[in-house]
Homo-oligomer: A and B are copies of this chain.
Amino acid sequence: MTTHEILIKAQEGKLALALSGAEVKTRALEYMADSLLENADDILAANARDMDAARGHITDVMLDRLYLNAQRVADMADGIRQVAALPDPVGRVLARVERPNGLVIEKVSVPMGVVAIIYESRPNVTSDAAALAVKSGNACILRSGREAWGSCHAIVNALRQGLQKAGLPESAVSLIEDTSHTSGTELMSANGLVDLLIPRGGAGLIRACVENATVPCIQTGTGICHIYVDKDADQAKALRIIENAKTQRPSVCNAEEVCLVHQNIAAQFLPALRETLVEKREAAGLPPVELRLDAQAAAVIPGTPAGERDFDTEFLDYILAVAVVPDAQSAIGHIARHSTKHSDAIITENSDTAAQFTAQVDSAAVYVNASTRFTDGGVFGLGCEMGISTQKLHARGPMGLEELCSYKYVIHGDGQIR
């Protein structure tokens, strides 16, 4: 089917899901999980073909993201069951007003309608996104990267069998067949057919969506996260937090990329930072962190001189840009100029400085004395996550089921006029 035909067909899935109660949706998700396991052989065979075709054309990191085995398929099924067990986000009465004239006005949560997700090479995004969409009463249109298409197609086939078993139209979950740029552009401008577009991928994809989408779109992902070590920091705490935020999983968006250090403690803290991130890690056989230092930091410890772009780069690697700042206000200013408004932290024992930082730093998540790695839908109590919004409209930070819903006003009267 063409992309347009798929979008038209999805309107049926949208209506059916919008009218389905919580039980039907939960049962559909259970069947979808069962069906993934039943179809595991087909999924793994398709994935093996994708891997063969991709080998030599994409990096090892991307190959690992593409790879599936029986355990990963089982994890996908588990993920669907976890979403199934969450509370239904639709039909909640968010506010209720009874007017003196007897009019009863209720603000009720409703699905967005059709949610389109453009992603890259992780096949598991297919089942994650479909599960969150179905649970929140939304039809979903999935557009995977070309190299993962065979795997995603096999997964969507399995999910659709589950939908049908639950009596829902298979058009509730669709995979775009065209993996060229054309289909992405079509989704971005499908006004009236796509109610929400969520790009999940690299900075280039996100920028293309923000610049070109005329359908409602949520900017996700890119994280240039800062940790500012204040003059009143507990420095041992700071070292523990920075090592965690930088090295526990450097390839993710909530990992630290920049460390700012108050000038009063630079002479003491920077050598300890280097010892923690470089020397001790080398001694322990762990990958050391490359430090990219501004002039003031370079005057204290050895490291790579920071280039012009190093304070505006999401390294996603064992690299940390380090700068010395005169005070907390300068750290806040630096963050305002360079942060992607994802997650930023201060390490301080001074509650006034902490309050100044949390009030002025305009990011989705602002931390005091904790690792930026906690920015996550599960940790934040949402139970799941469709991505992390770095914009301020509609949803900010981790997006769970509620963030995939809109609301409408339902008003009951008995002939009231104005």
Contact = CB atoms under 8 A, between A and B. Distances in A.
Q: How many copies does the complex hold?
A: 2
Instruction: Identify whether the interface residues of A are mostly helix, strand, loop, or mixed.
Output: mixed
Given A95-B381, A411-B365, A15 B360 contact: yes
A103 B370 contact: yes
Nearest to A189: B211
A369 B241 contact: no
Nearest to A402: B95
A103 B237 CA distance: 15
A189 to B, nearest CB: 9
A67 interface: no
A205 B136 CA distance: 33
Contacts of A216: 391-393
A232 to B, nearest CB: 14
Interface residues of A, number: 67
A137 B417 CA distance: 35
Nearest to A219: B216
Interface in A192-217: 195-196, 210-211, 214, 216
Contacts of A15: 360
A359 B19 contact: yes
A1 to B, nearest CB: 22
A234 interface: yes
B97 A417 contact: no
Given A216-B392, A366-B408, A374-B411, 18 more contacts: A18-B362, A19-B359, A103-B370, A103-B379, A105-B381, A113-B362, A211-B214, A244-B417, A248-B417, A358-B410, A366-B410, A368-B412, A369-B414, A370-B417, A371-B416, A371-B418, A374-B416, A393-B394
